[in-house]
Homo-oligomer: A and B are copies of this chain.
C-alpha cells in the first residue's frame, strides 16, 4: 500500500539549512547560559497528567496533548454510557500521561523531586521542545522549543542583573539590536493601591498589558467593563502616561507612589537594575515600561520583556521573578527568577535582517570528486588528514560523470572541490578548485588545509 506522506498540522520538518540555523541559535544561547554558570538539565517529554493538569488554567488543560493508555485503554469505559460531550470528563479514564506543555512546571517538579540532591541556589537551563494542541496559525506551532534559564533559592537582585546581561550577550552575539523592557509587579501592586483598587491587581494588569495592542482608550473601556470605578480609571491614566528617560520616569513614579510601601520597594528594585546595567555597560537599550505585565499571574517582582528594534515582531525573550513556583508540589517559599528565549521568533528576526553568518551551513567545506576505486582510496587518505584538522569534507560516493558530481557540489553550496586523479595520486597531491573564484591549484593536503581555513 502506497501512502502519500504528510505530517500533522502545526508540526514541522526541518531540512539541513534550517536545522543548521536553528542549531546556531541554540548553541549561542547554550554558550551564554554556560558562561554564566547555569547547568543543563533535561526532563522527560512525557509527564504524569497529575503533574500537568491544573497548572495552566482551564484553557491550558484542554491544550495538553494526552497519551492514550497502553493496552486495554477501554477497560475503565466499559459499561459507561456517554456522549461526545463527556469527552473532557472521561479523559482521565483513558489517559494518565501527557506531553510537556512548558519547561517551568517540569522544572518545579524536578526541583521538588530532587530537593535532597540539589545545592541551593540552583541555576539550571533547559532547551527542549514543548507541545500544545493550539489551533495552528502563522508563527504558532504545536511543537516548538523553549530555552529557559532559572535560578531558584535566592532573592538577590544580582540574579536579575546577571539574567539581563545574559539577554544582552545572546543578542549581541546574534547581532540583533534589542530593547529590554523592565517593570516590577510590586510597582503594579503599588499603582492598584494608590488608585484605591488594591484588590483588583489582576484585572488591572491584564487590562494594561494590552495597552500596546489596543491603545489607552480601549484599555479604559476594558477596565470599566471589569467594574473599575471611573475615579480609579482616571487616577490610573497619568501613571501610564509618564514620559522621559527611564530615570526621569522612575522619579515621577516615586512621587506618584509615595503612599505605597510596596510600590516604592518595586521602584527601588528597578533603580538597582537600571543603575547596574549602566555600570556594566549593557549594550541593549534598557527601558522602563509600567504597562508591562506579562499576563502571567505568578510573577511577584521583576518583569522583563525583549523586543527587536529593527523588526516588527512580538517579544523574543522575557521573564521575571516568582515566589512560589514549587508550592503546588509541596515545597513552599522558594523564590526564583528566570528568562526564556523564543527560538522561532529569533529565527524569523535573523532571517528578516539577513543576520545568519555564512559560516552557518550544513554543507562540508570540500567535496572530493570520485574517479574510481583506486583514486577514491587515495582521496580518502587525504580526507582523513583534512578531517583531523577539523575540516568537514566528503567524497562523492560514486564514480559518476564529472558534471553530475559538480552539480551536486554546487547544489549543496560546497565552497571547494578537490580532484585526485591518477596524476595527483602519484604526487600525493590534489587539485583544489575554489568554486566561488573559479580558480584551481595543485596542492598538498597541508597546503589545502591552510587555503580552506583561510577562507
Which A residues form the contact surface with B (CB < 8 A)? 1-8, 11-16, 19-20, 22-23, 34-37, 39-48, 50-51, 62, 65-68, 70-75, 77-78, 82-87, 90-91, 94-97, 99, 109-110, 112-114, 117, 119, 121, 123-124, 129, 131, 133, 142-143, 151, 154-156, 158-159, 161-162, 165, 169, 276, 279-280, 328-330, 362-364, 367, 370, 376-377, 380-381, 384, 387, 390-395, 397-399, 407-408, 411-412
Tell which of B37, B44, B99 touches A393, judged by Cβ atoms closer than 8 Å. B37
What CA separation (Å) do A11 and B399 show in the bound complex?
A: 47
Can you list 15 A-B contacts (CB < 8 A)? A3-B328, A3-B330, A8-B47, A13-B44, A19-B39, A34-B364, A36-B393, A39-B363, A67-B68, A70-B133, A74-B82, A74-B90, A75-B87, A159-B397, A280-B381
Q: Which residue of B lies closest to A280 (CB)?
A: B380
Interface centre among A8, A36, A119 (most CB of B within 10 A): A8
Chain B nearest CB from A20 CB (Å) reads: 6
Interface centre among A151, A367, A377 (most CB of B within 10 A): A377
Tell which of B42, B67, B119, B390 touches A14, judged by Cβ atoms closer than 8 Å. B42
What CA separation (Å) do A30 and B1 show in the bound complex?
A: 35
Tell which of B158, B380, B393 touches A398, judged by Cβ atoms closer than 8 Å. B158
Tell which of B20, B67, B129 touches A40, judged by Cβ atoms closer than 8 Å. B20
What CA separation (Å) do A104 and B385 show in the bound complex?
A: 31
Q: Which residues from chain B contact A362 at a C-beta distance below 8 Å?
A: 39-40
Q: Which residues from chain B contact A91 at a C-beta distance below 8 Å?
A: 68, 73
What CA separation (Å) do A330 and B124 show in the bound complex?
A: 46
Tell which of B4, B13, B161 touches A110, judged by Cβ atoms closer than 8 Å. B13
**Cβ-closest 7 pairs across A and B:** A37-B394, A16-B39, A11-B44, A39-B362, A37-B364, A75-B84, A156-B397
What CA separation (Å) do A110 and B16 show in the bound complex?
A: 12
Q: Which residues from chain B contact A112 at a C-beta distance below 8 Å?
A: 5
Further pairs besides A35-B390, A72-B87: 6, Cβ < 8 Å: A2-B330, A19-B42, A68-B68, A73-B87, A75-B87, A280-B380
Chain B nearest CB from A403 CB (Å) reads: 14
Q: Which residues from chain B contact A123 at a C-beta distance below 8 Å?
A: 394
**Chain A contact residues: helix, strand, loop or mixed:** mixed
Q: Which residue of B lies closest to A73 (CB)?
A: B87
Chain B nearest CB from A79 CB (Å) reads: 9
What CA separation (Å) do A81 and B36 show in the bound complex?
A: 60
Residues A74 and B83 in contact, CB atoms below 8 Å apart: yes
Q: Which residues from chain B contact A387 at a C-beta distance below 8 Å?
A: 35-36, 169
Residues B78 and A154 in contact, CB atoms below 8 Å apart: no
Residues A74 and B46 in contact, CB atoms below 8 Å apart: no
Residues A84 and B94 in contact, CB atoms below 8 Å apart: no
Chain B nearest CB from A226 CB (Å) reads: 29
Q: Which residues from chain B contact A412 at a C-beta distance below 8 Å?
A: 119
Q: A72-B85, A82-B74 are in contact. Are A45 and B45 (CB under 8 A)?
A: yes
Residues A158 and B16 in contact, CB atoms below 8 Å apart: no
Q: Which residues from chain B contact A276 at a C-beta distance below 8 Å?
A: 377, 380
Q: Which residues from chain B contact A142 at a C-beta distance below 8 Å?
A: 46
Residues B68 and A158 in contact, CB atoms below 8 Å apart: no
Chain B nearest CB from A298 CB (Å) reads: 17
Chain B nearest CB from A228 CB (Å) reads: 32
Residues A165 and B36 in contact, CB atoms below 8 Å apart: no
What CA separation (Å) do A336 and B349 show in the bound complex?
A: 37
Q: Which residues from chain B contact A39 at a C-beta distance below 8 Å?
A: 16, 19-20, 362-363
Q: Which residues from chain B contact A162 at a C-beta distance below 8 Å?
A: 380, 394-395, 397
What CA separation (Å) do A36 and B395 show in the bound complex?
A: 9
Q: Which residues from chain B contact A143 at a C-beta distance below 8 Å?
A: 44-46
Chain B nearest CB from A393 CB (Å) reads: 6
Residues B13 and A114 in contact, CB atoms below 8 Å apart: yes
Q: Which residues from chain B contact A48 at a C-beta distance below 8 Å?
A: 6-8
What CA separation (Å) do A98 and B167 show in the bound complex?
A: 36
What CA separation (Å) do A380 and B277 show in the bound complex?
A: 11
Tell which of B5, B40, B330 touches A4, judged by Cβ atoms closer than 8 Å. B330
Residues B370 and A158 in contact, CB atoms below 8 Å apart: yes
What CA separation (Å) do A77 and B408 show in the bound complex?
A: 52
What CA separation (Å) do A397 and B151 show in the bound complex?
A: 10
